[in-house]
Amino acid sequence: MPDDAKPAILVVTTVPPDLRAKLASDYQLVDLEHLRWEAGAASPDLSRFKIALTTSMAGADETLMAQLPQLGLIACNGAGLDKIDLKAAASRGIAVCHTPDELTEDVADFTIGLIYAASRRLVEGDRFVRTGGWLKGRMTLSRSLVGKTLGIVGLGKIGTAIARRAVGLGLEVVYHGRRPKPHLDYAFEPDIGRLAERADILVLSCAGGEETHHLIGVDILARLGPDGILVNVSRGSVVDEEALIIALQAGSIAAAALDVFASEPRIDERFLALDNVVLQPHYAALTFETRAAMVGRIHREITAFLEGRPLHDAARR
């Protein structure tokens, strides 16, 4: 089928190549950036598009929705919805689909890897061998995990999967969130400051957005203490990076492991000079299996929308 005969999808930001290739086989993909370039100083005509494709990092605000009078579906590559205006979408009758389930297990696995990397200093050990440090002596000690307390901020699907793995490794799990979950066999801590005091490792798996912006700052880091470890797999906005860098430089906390940052991919260069932080390129969900599942789900949801079949609509949860 020629492209101009296929249903059109407005691509509002850069999307992964695997997703683009899958959708391009059945749909005409039109890049918003290209339309804006063609229009020059004028505003591009977006009135024909019923579907917009975005990512969790780019989102979709009410201004964009207002430019798309026929918009019926926002398809999002990713689990996070904090950058999509769900209230605006619901008020305009726009469905929002995303991939909330497909990346849970891989992100949880990766988080456990980050915990080990920071506590047992795995990345430092690799550098120690490669740079010849072992030829000069033994590396200094790391921290054991067995019997320690893992504090989790945000016990949603990913947080619960992390907790399940942590218990199997001999960690005690305590969590903080909007409300307790009595059906789960983990201790609830209503005060995040007290959670930081109780935890040896503090894992962030909460949603981003205004509610959690700089949730972790000077006070929480101080209460985590010089033996504490911070792990962030949520959103970079959850952590006050200035406070974190100062704490790592001063040894006010022992270490951190970060998969997300306030500015990606151009992270604060001061992180690069610190040996007590493990840095990852927003990589927790990037496995062959998870990518295939995410791409497949987005394709199915778009097809369901066009065929008038039910789909998972996050705007009307």
Contacts of residue 182, defined as CB under 8 A and 6 or more positions apart, other chains included, come to: none
CB-based burial, 176-204: b 16+ in 10 Å, e otherwise = bbeeeeeeeebeebeebeebbbbbbbbbb
Distances (CA, A) of 229 to 167, 268, 281: 18, 19, 19
Alpha carbons 131 and 234: distance in angstroms, whole number: 32
Alpha carbons 163 and 257: distance in angstroms, whole number: 17
The C-alpha angle with vertex 10 and arms to 7 and 12, in degrees rounded to 5, equals 160
Alpha carbons 18 and 294: distance in angstroms, whole number: 10
Question: Do residues 215 and 206 touch, judged by C-beta distance below 8 A?
Answer: yes
Question: Do residues 215 and 236 touch, judged by C-beta distance below 8 A?
Answer: no
Active site residues: 235, 264, 282
Alpha carbons 119 and 131: distance in angstroms, whole number: 21
Query: Which is nearest to 2 in space by CA: 26, 32, 23, 21?
Result: 26
User: In 10 A of CB 48, how many CB atoms?
Assistant: 11
Distances (CA, A) of 52 to 61, 231, 292, 298: 12, 33, 20, 12
Q: Which residue's entry shows tokens 């996050």?
A: 314
Question: Quick one: tokens of 95?
Answer: 């469905």
- Specify which residues 75 forms β-bridges with: 53, 97
